[in-house]
Amino acid sequence: MAKLTPVGVAKGFALFAGVLFFLYWFLAGLSLLGDAFKVIAGDSAGSLFGAVSNPVAGLMVGILATVLVQSSSTTTSIIVAAAGSGVLDVATGIPMVFGANIGTSVTNTIVSLGFVGDREQYRRGFAGATVHDMFNYLNVCFWLPVEALTSAMRGGDGGILFLITRAIARSFESCDGEDCEDWKGPLKKITAKISKRIISVDKDVIKDFAYGKPSLELCEELLCSESNGEYECHAHKFSQKRCAATGYAVEGTNCGEVYFDEAENETVTVSKKAKAKFEYCIISSDGTISTNATVLAAAQAHFDSYKLNKGGCFYEAGMQTSAGWVTLLLALVMLTVSLLGMVKLLGIAVRGAAEEALKKAFNMNGYLAIVVGCAVTIFVQSSSITTSVLTPLVAMGTLSLEGMLPLTLGANIGTTVTGLLASLVGDSANGFQLAMCHVLFNLFGVLMFYPVPRIRRIPLAAAQRLGDLAALFKVFPIVYILMLFFVYPGFFLGISMAFGAGGGGIAGGIFGLLFFIALHVAFFWWYWKQAGREWLERSFGHDFDSQKPQKDVQDPDHRDSSSSTSSGASIAGVQGTSFAATNAEEAERVSAPTQDATVV
């Protein structure tokens, strides 16, 4: 055992402090990245929730909305709030929650791009990031059809998750008062010291966009109703903490208004943070619905005067959308610099005995890792932060791919707590029921798929295959992000809306679907049968001078097993792409063999 010296202790402390320094700025960069996307596309993300007509559309909306706001916690909180206010029914919101689970993994996939300079780290990092995607897709591919089929069997009255959570929601008790504010994790409070000085997002604006712009249609669909022969219309309540400047809002919500509060028995001046309410819907005794044009115009003007950026230096400079773009650029610079610094210091720190100790610590028992991942995510209130911090460790080889999987599954469960807390703040059992759907979807997925080794190997093998492709084609991860998180969800959302439109929309949807299938068949035929793969390798890939023997994927609970089979090699079918360094120059550079499993 090496003897401790004052110089060695000082060096170790300096390295530790340096890693914490860069980690803090990395986390602050992630926070700014999410805020930037919310300011740039938050209104678009909120508007997406009105485009849902079937489970497939709901799934795609969940993916796109989460990618746009860079946070599944934000998306699920909005979905829960929409369900609580009656904008969404629970059965419609369930596929959206499924989509949010998939969309959240885009953040750590973006982080893996920071290792593009080193092919081995790039391969491991991208595989570590996408193992999250692969398990989520596996889970969705099971639960989406099961939920849809069981709902159809019951005449469209909700599937199995809907029934279970409805039974749970019967015990729901609403929470009112100041003690029901949203809980914020301590890490968010720490990073907010930096992020709030730059940009501050008003998430309530996104909720208002999800609710819809004041209109006659909103009166007909949501605000007016009939009960026991009596007709009634309710006020349009805004989520934004911003009083109405027009004077046509409900008493007690107009800016500067002074009124007598009978409950408090005192004269009150309306606060600037009062939530505006407008009563513009009118219903006659025969059930005919109309609007008060003056009040409706005032409500629409209040809606249109939103500001997604509500604080920070850019807000003081009068910047809104432009503030989002500047913050996005700043966040990317912060992430890149802090990631490089953190990886460099970790590379110095984890050598020899320290490296082996860290590997043993991180590659713990899979079930314990699920608990750890869940606990950490509850603490930081973001699965994106948890997985984004773990991705560099996988890239460096400190954390194996098999060790990464259970930690991300724990993060999936931990991130559901945010939506659950958001539902408890409201007064609707529907919001609580939808939040419980999110919890059970992730919990059941882990209980069903992780304990079975053969099923557990599917996302591992798929992620390793994607890592191989990243090592072969540097541009592949960018194509992967664009296709799986933007192009495919957007396309299938359009197809779903076309089928829901009826008439010519169905014909257009069928044509688009057939074109999509034909295009992919043609591509794979060219790739495999017409030397397309070889052409791509010559044009965009790396040259390989030699290959090393290929290993099978190791089971995470049997990492010391020396047995191997040829089944892993047959899963991916990649020829000439190895999960280890394959050419002579890289073999010389990577002197020690990696412990990562290989699938080609």
Interval 480-525: pLDDT, tens: 999 999 999 989 988 888 887 777 788 888 999 999 999 999 999 9
Q: Are 419 and 73 in contact (CB under 8 A)?
A: yes
Ramachandran angles phi, psi of 442, nearest 5°: -75, -40
Read out DSSP for 342-407? Answer: HHHHHHHHS-THHHHHHHHHHS--HHHHHHHHHHHHHHHT-HHHHHHHHHHHHHHTSS-HHHHHHH
CA-nearest of 198, 184, 194, 212 to 39 is 198
Q: What integer is the mean pLDDT of 183-189?
A: 60
| Two tokens, residue 43 | 């209104």
* 158 vs 7: which has the higher pLDDT: 158
| Each residue's pLDDT tens digit, 34-69 | 788 778 776 676 666 666 768 888 899 889 888 887
Q: What integer is the mean pLDDT of 446-457?
A: 90
Give pLDDT, residue 171.
67
3-state secondary structure of 260: strand
Give pLDDT, residue 358.
61
CA atoms within 13 A on the CB side of 76: 34
| Two tokens, residue 113 | 């791009």
| Each residue's pLDDT tens digit, 257-287 | 887 777 667 788 888 888 999 999 998 888 8
* 328 vs 441: which has the higher pLDDT: 441
Of the pLDDT bands very low, low, confident and very high (cuts 50, 70, 90), residue 256 is confident
Of the pLDDT bands very low, low, confident and very high (cuts 50, 70, 90), residue 580 is very low
| Contact partners, residue 494, CB within 8 Å, separation at least 6 | 512
Q: In Å, how far are 9, 66, 234, 356, 460 from 192, measured between CA atoms?
A: 32, 21, 37, 35, 35
Q: Where are the domains of the chain?
A: 7-177+317-472, 203-306, 485-542
Q: Side chain identity at 198, as an amino acid letter? A: I
Of the pLDDT bands very low, low, confident and very high (cuts 50, 70, 90), residue 593 is very low
Q: Which of 57-71, 132-146, 412-426 has the lowest mean pLDDT?
A: 412-426
* 557 vs 481: which has the higher pLDDT: 481
| Contact partners, residue 336, CB within 8 Å, separation at least 6 | 114
Query: Does residue 440 have a pLDDT over 90?
Result: yes
* 545 vs 159: which has the higher pLDDT: 159
Q: Which of 16-25, 144-153, 299-308 has the lowest mean pLDDT?
A: 16-25
**Percent share of the chain, pLDDT over 70:** 79
Q: Which of 8-22, 345-359, 425-439 has the lowest mean pLDDT?
A: 345-359
Q: Are 165 and 437 in contact (CB under 8 A)?
A: yes
**Percent share of the chain, pLDDT over 90:** 23
Query: Does residue 407 have a pLDDT over 50?
Result: yes
Per DSSP, 105 falls in state T
Beta bridge partners of 226: 231
Query: Does residue 552 have a pLDDT over 60?
Result: no
* 423 vs 551: which has the higher pLDDT: 423
Highest mean pLDDT among 209-213, 338-342, 359-363, 400-404: 400-404
* 476 vs 46: which has the higher pLDDT: 476
Of the pLDDT bands very low, low, confident and very high (cuts 50, 70, 90), residue 93 is confident
Q: What integer is the mean pLDDT of 169-186?
A: 56
Query: Does residue 392 have a pLDDT over 80?
Result: yes
| Each residue's pLDDT tens digit, 187-226 | 667 777 788 888 888 888 888 888 888 999 889 888 898 8
Query: Which pTM does this prediction carry?
Result: 0.69
Of the pLDDT bands very low, low, confident and very high (cuts 50, 70, 90), residue 592 is very low
